């Protein structure tokens, strides 16, 4: 990993963040256009092109679901149920807080209620990898919110099948439909609909650069949750940090793909050198070593800041998907850092555990969007509905103030629409 002496924290984050390829956008736009025009035939074409698979049916059948169960061990099914139950606790607690209410002020009654979205699409990464945990993280909050139709899309492997643990996870958590499609073409299908797949109102879930780009482009017509692209992990350390754990955590997130963005922030050049030395040694024997090495060499860095204040400023500016704080004053530092998607405090809160079973959601904002939102939750699947009922006395009470606004804005018809009710 590069060791960088950070002199200007205000400009560093924008320079260091990995950039999206403009070429990707052109490719994704052409895929979206093709799916819009040609539907299922386009989907099958791209599955053959990108995933080297040919399938007569895009939708996972009931018999395929039953077969997936038969291929899992008791321990695997227990793991799915445990992850579901742990996430359900925190999401149910949040849902319970979101109560409908009505207020009455000077003859105006305003009511707000939380209404579930009717149809949502959950993207679950797959293909050559297995991400049943992402199915759990997207479906569980949707189900708790009260969504009636939950469509799961996930890329098949070269045999044309989705990983059985992903299928079972989707089924246990309450998916209505499961489709064997991935990439930008799956996002386009969820947005426009095809003969096999009816469109949805909102698309959620993480994915690679093509999926993230497709969601961004299609957000003009179909609501999305967030930019949840290749994983990000920042770790703040000091001379008390267990270097071997820091290195293990970097490797754990870097193994996702060569596009991950993993780094360390510290004020100690000595600690930075120790981490760099140990990671060079550990990568040699680590599983998925080629992916880890490529990721850390291309995007990883160890940033040496001048002060703790600079550490805080930079952590909030970078706003990584995950931020671990492994310092002697971790809790104190955490109170000052609010921008990351998820803050993990102390030596025993690894991001890898939060990816599965700590009870938090691992679908998190990337690319700095943690500054404005947090993890996927029931709130992503609820619409705030508002009704207003006013009386004539209420209109009379606001009429003079309204005239002041409409005169200033030159919208006299707005005032006339009120005044005519007062005659």
- Does a structural domain hold residue 76? yes
Q: Can you tell me whether residue 215 is helix, strand or coil?
A: helix
Same domain (yes/no): 400, 349:
no
- Provide the token pair at 328: 């002697």
For the entire predicted model, the pTM comes to 0.93
What confidence score (pLDDT) does residue 56 get? 75
Same domain (yes/no): 218, 312:
no
Whole-number Å distance between alpha carbons of 72 and 164: 7
Question: Which distant-in-sequence residues (6+ apart) come within 8 Å of 23 by Cβ?
Answer: none
Sign of the CA dihedral 172, 173, 179, 180? Answer: negative
What confidence score (pLDDT) does residue 22 get? 77
Average pLDDT for runs of 10 along the chain of length 423: 94 88 89 98 94 86 98 98 98 97 97 98 87 97 98 93 96 98 97 98 94 95 91 97 98 94 97 97 96 96 97 97 98 97 98 97 95 97 98 97 98 97 93
Please choose, from the candidates 189, 121, 173, the residue with its C-alpha nearest in 3D space to the C-alpha of residue 152. 121
Q: For the chain, how many structural domains are there in total?
A: 3
**Which domain CATH number covers 52?**
3.40.50.1980
Distance separating the N- and C-terminal Cα atoms of the chain: 75
What confidence score (pLDDT) does residue 54 get? 79
Whole-number Å distance between alpha carbons of 291 and 254: 7
Under 8 Å between Cβ of 337 and 327: no
Same domain (yes/no): 135, 275:
no
Same domain (yes/no): 9, 132:
no
Q: Can you tell me whether residue 133 is helix, strand or coil?
A: helix
Residue 65 C-beta-side C-alpha neighbours within 13 Å: 15
Same domain (yes/no): 192, 47:
yes
Whole-number Å distance between alpha carbons of 213 and 367: 12
Residue 73 domain boundaries: 22-97+114-224
What confidence score (pLDDT) does residue 209 get? 87
Same domain (yes/no): 75, 185:
yes
Q: Which residues are catalytic?
A: 321-322
Q: What is the pLDDT of residues 81-97, one digit of tens each?
A: 999 999 999 999 999 99
Same domain (yes/no): 72, 158:
yes
Same domain (yes/no): 6, 39:
no
- Spell 88-99 as b/e; 16+ CB within 10 A means b: bebbeeebeeee
Burial of 132 (0-12, 13-18, 19+ CB in 10 A): buried
What confidence score (pLDDT) does residue 227 get? 83
Whole-number Å distance between alpha carbons of 275 and 198: 50
Residue 390 C-beta-side C-alpha neighbours within 13 Å: 11
Same domain (yes/no): 32, 159:
yes
336, 359, 382 — which closes off a domain?
359
Q: What is the pLDDT of residues 316-349, one digit of tens each?
A: 999 999 999 999 999 999 999 999 999 999 999 9
């Amino acid at each position: 990993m590069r060791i960088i002496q950070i002199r200007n924290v205000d400009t560093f984050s924008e320079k260091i963040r990995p950039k999206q390829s403009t070429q990707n956008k052109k490719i994704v736009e052409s895929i979206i256009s093709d799916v819009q025009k040609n539907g299922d035939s386009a989907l099958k074409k791209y599955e053959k092109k990108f995933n080297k698979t040919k399938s007569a049916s895009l939708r996972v059948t009931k018999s395929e679901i039953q077969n997936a169960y038969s291929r899992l061990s008791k321990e695997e099914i227990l793991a799915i149920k445990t992850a579901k139950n742990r996430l359900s606790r925190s999401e149910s607690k949040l849902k319970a807080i979101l109560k409908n209410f009505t207020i009455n002020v000077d003859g105006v009654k305003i009511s707000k209620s939380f209404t579930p979205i009717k149809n949502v699409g959950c993207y679950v990464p797959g293909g050559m990898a297995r991400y049943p945990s992402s199915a759990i993280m997207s479906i569980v909050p949707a189900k708790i919110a009260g969504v009636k139709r939950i469509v799961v899309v996930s890329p098949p492997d070269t045999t044309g099948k989705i990983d059985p643990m992903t299928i079972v996870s989707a089924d246990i958590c309450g998916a209505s439909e499961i489709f064997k499609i991935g990439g930008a073409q799956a996002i386009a299908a969820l947005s426009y609909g095809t003969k096999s797949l009816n469109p949805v109102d909102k698309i959620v879930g993480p994915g690679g650069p093509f999926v993230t780009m497709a969601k961004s482009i299609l957000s003009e017509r179909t609501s999305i949750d967030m930019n949840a692209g290749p994983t990000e992990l920042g770790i703040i350390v000091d001379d008390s940090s267990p270097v071997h754990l820091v290195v293990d955590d970097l490797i754990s997130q870097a193994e996702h793909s060569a596009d991950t963005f993993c780094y360390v922030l510290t004020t100690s050049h000595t600690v930075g050198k120790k981490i760099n030395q140990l990671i060079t040694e550990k990568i040699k024997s680590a599983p998925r070593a080629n992916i880890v090495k490529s990721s850390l060499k291309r995007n990883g860095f160890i940033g040496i800041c001048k002060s703790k204040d600079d550490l805080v400023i930079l952590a909030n500016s970078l706003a990584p998907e995950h931020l671990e704080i492994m310092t002697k004053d971790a809790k104190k530092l955490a109170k000052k850092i609010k921008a990351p998607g998820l803050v993990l405090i102390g030596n025993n809160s690894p991001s890898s555990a939060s990816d599965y079973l700590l009870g938090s959601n691992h679908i998190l904002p990337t690319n700095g969007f943690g500054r404005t939102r947090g993890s996927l939750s029931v709130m992503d699947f609820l619409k705030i509905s508002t009704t207003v009922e006013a009386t004539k006395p209420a209109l009379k009470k606001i009429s003079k103030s309204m005239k002041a606004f409409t005169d200033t804005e030159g919208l006299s018809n707005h005032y006339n629409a009120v005044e005519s009710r007062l005659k």
